[in-house]
A and B are shown apart, each in its own frame.
Chain A
Amino acid sequence: MTLKECYAALEGDYESVLSRLMTERLVQKFALKFLDDASFNNLVKNMSESNWDDAFRDAHTLKGVCQNLSFTKLFSSSSLMTEALRDGNTEEAAKILSQVKADYDQTVSAIKELTAL
């Protein structure tokens, strides 16, 4: 799978990320690094333990990373999550979490296809 195809599979904006980070090498390097990023796992953990402040920061970090990498789909669900937690709306956040999980899985499996090359 090419990097462009990977972005299509995770529903991201390849053109945008390429223009901002300038080279395909860099985009690929950081896309792969996303697999090691802990913010999603921390988010799930802190949500299950009702650590709302920490969960907010995790969602915020995840959102920021997705934004930088133009992972559009995961960015939009993690943004919703961030805003719900910022407003202290934990019930709403818990609902959105399943969407974030689904988008995260979609993103990660697309990137793993990239490593399979």
Chain B
Amino acid sequence: MSGVDKHRQKVLIVDDSEMNRNILSEILGGEYDIIEAENGAEAVNILRKESVNISLVLLDIVMPVMDGYGVLAVMNSRHWIDDVPVIMISSDNSVSSMRRAYELGITEFISRPFDALIVRHRVVNTIMLYAKQKRLVGMVADQIYEKEKDSSLMINILSHIVEFRNGESGMHVLNVQMFTEILLRQLVRQTDKYNISKADISLIGKASSLHDIGKISVPDHILNKPGRLTPEEFEIMKNHSVAGASMLEELTLYQDEPLVKIAYQICRWHHERYDGRGYPDGLKGEEIPISAQIVALADVYDALTSERVYKKAFSHEKSMEMIMNGECGCFNPLLLECLKAASEAIEKVKAHNSDENEKQRENLALELMKYEELSASEETLRLLDYERMKNDFFASVSNELHFEYTTSPSMISLYPNNSNMLDISELIAYPVDDERLTSIISMDEIKKLGILLKHTSPDSPVVSYDCKACLNNEIHNINIICRSVWNSKSEFCGAVGKAADLGIA
């Protein structure tokens, strides 16, 4: 690393022995800014505030309050371990404890007594490796994003050309795509019989934009005829499904592309009916590919709720009723259930998209939604950091006490001004055993609140709790409002909340 870096990288040294911390900072201090923590709880508190800014953690195992394994457990549950490398330093170099540490995500294990040069080399290498990886992840994410954006854009331009000729608003293609994706997500929730993955949903959504490309082959005077079509004209109109499919079939070079395969199904069969009375092939029931079944339903819903040269727009309720009564074709009963279940989301999208101003914002949200599977890049971490700064600020200007509680390890964290006010540490490990905390609120009250929280459910996650607290040697009434938090496996994992002082009791 060059010495001209304005921002030196930060290394967090966690060791209960001041001597050991001093030796390590002496070894590394020339190249890095050093932050020290004398136990695991302190380390967690520092990481909580600035995990984004810390390039590496040097971690001891045996420490009071919270040991090294405890720190690793928190770093795992908060996903800090994905971005902040940890080197463990310990004299306990038994295979079992080294394995345990590696399983908890450490990058390196250094045994005591350590050699200054080796420590320095490992620290430098690990930091460079992580920095390089972060850069690469960022580059890959950006490129995928750009590529995806471009290809979505191309497909949209293409299908808008068709729409444009049709004299319809360009919103139809976008609506059908969004309804298709909503319906697919609902379908996946209701059944696994079609074996549809997240990637499939995005692919079918994209391909749905092409459902009407065959209309290019329909002459203007038929396509835009305001009155009723003659039987001959209707035959020509109906031919758009086969025409679209054969256009795709003639792309000989790309026949194996999943997008082309799916688009073919959609183009050809989006006017089939579940009872077998549709066109062009009269396919029946599950003979019709699920992609085409879904797009057909999305297409009909959007046609009903939009104004056309030959009709006015129907309301959401009226359109739903017409579809359910079989007035607009015959659909898979399972898909009708999905439409009912997703009715609210679909209506919302329709309302938003009608408003041109909302369009771009919606697009962006949609675009962003597609990338949720990409790992948290640095940008997300910056955003998190921003959110944290915001929370800290609001907490600091409020008279109420804001806190976070996690169950494993059992810990309460407060914001700095609150903790100063109460003369209590910012991070309280094992709250029921904390002397200072229990001198303010009795252990019984804390336990009762804990039990109430444990019995909340995602449907009613909020607990309001009145109790007494000892502030400045006087008994006050306080009200605590908490909201429980569940992890991705739906296990209760803590709460966020605030406490308000209601005055002397």
Contacts and interface: CB of A to CB of B under 8 A. Distances in A.
Q: Note whether A and B form a binding pair.
A: yes
Interface of A: 16-17, 19-22, 26, 29-30, 33-34, 37, 39, 54, 57, 60-61, 63-65, 67-70
Nearest to A21: B116
A57 B113 contact: no
A57 B68 CA distance: 13
Interface in B107-140: 112-117
Contacts of A70: 113
B281 interface: no
A54 B114 CA distance: 25
Nearest to A65: B19
- Which size class do B's interface residues fall under? 20 to 34
B112 A64 contact: yes
Contacts of A54: 64
Determine which residue in A39, A63, A65 has the highest number of CB atoms from chain B within 10 A of its CB, and name it: A65
8 contacts: A20-B113, A20-B114, A37-B17, A57-B16, A63-B91, A67-B91, A67-B112, A68-B23
Nearest to A22: B116
A57 B62 contact: yes
- Main secondary structure on chain B at its contact with chain A? loop
Contact of B19 (A16, A34, A57): A34
Contact of A19 (B22, B26, B91, B115): B115
A9 B116 CA distance: 25
A20 B116 contact: yes
Contacts of B112: 64, 67-68
A29 B473 CA distance: 47
B114 A33 contact: no
Interface in B1-59: 16-20, 22-23, 26-27
Nearest to A54: B64
The 8 closest A-B pairs by CB, nearest first: A67-B113, A20-B115, A61-B17, A65-B19, A60-B62, A68-B113, A67-B112, A22-B116
Contact of A30 (B23, B60, B114, B117): B23
Contact of B23 (A21, A61, A63): A21
Contacts of A34: 19
A16 B64 CA distance: 30
A30 B113 CA distance: 14
Contacts of B432: none
A16 B63 CA distance: 26
A22 B117 contact: yes
A19 B116 CA distance: 9
Contacts of B117: 22
A63 B349 CA distance: 66
Nearest to A59: B62
Contacts of A19: 115
Determine which residue in A26, A30, A33, A61 has the highest number of CB atoms from chain B within 10 A of its CB, and name it: A61
B20 A57 contact: no
Interface of B: 16-20, 22-23, 26-27, 60, 62-64, 91, 112-117
A68 B115 contact: no
Contacts of B20: 64-65, 68
Contact of B63 (A22, A29, A57): A57
A93 to B, nearest CB: 16
B91 A57 contact: no
B93 to A, nearest CB: 12
Contact of A39 (B17, B23, B115, B116): B17
Nearest to A70: B113
Given A57-B63, A61-B62, A67-B113, 9 more contacts: A20-B113, A22-B117, A57-B64, A64-B91, A65-B19, A65-B20, A68-B19, A68-B114, A69-B19
Contacts of A64: 17, 20, 60, 91, 112
Nearest to A23: B116
Contacts of A26: 23, 26, 116
A73 to B, nearest CB: 15
Contacts of A30: 19, 22-23, 26
Contacts of A57: 16, 62-64
A70 B91 CA distance: 13
Contacts of A20: 113-116
Contact of A61 (B16, B22, B26, B27): B16
Determine which residue in B63, B91, B115 has the highest number of CB atoms from chain A within 10 A of its CB, and name it: B91
A33 B22 contact: yes
Determine which residue in A19, A21, A30, A33 has the highest number of CB atoms from chain B within 10 A of its CB, and name it: A21
Contacts of A39: 17
Nearest to B64: A57
Contacts of B23: 21, 26, 30, 68
Contacts of A22: 116-117
Nearest to B17: A61
Nearest to A13: B113
A55 to B, nearest CB: 12
A21 B117 CA distance: 8
A33 B20 CA distance: 11
A37 B22 CA distance: 11
A29 B23 CA distance: 10
Nearest to A20: B115
Contacts of B115: 19-20
A26 B91 CA distance: 21
A87 to B, nearest CB: 14
A19 B287 CA distance: 77
Contacts of B91: 63-64, 67
Contacts of B18: 37
A14 to B, nearest CB: 13
A63 B17 CA distance: 11
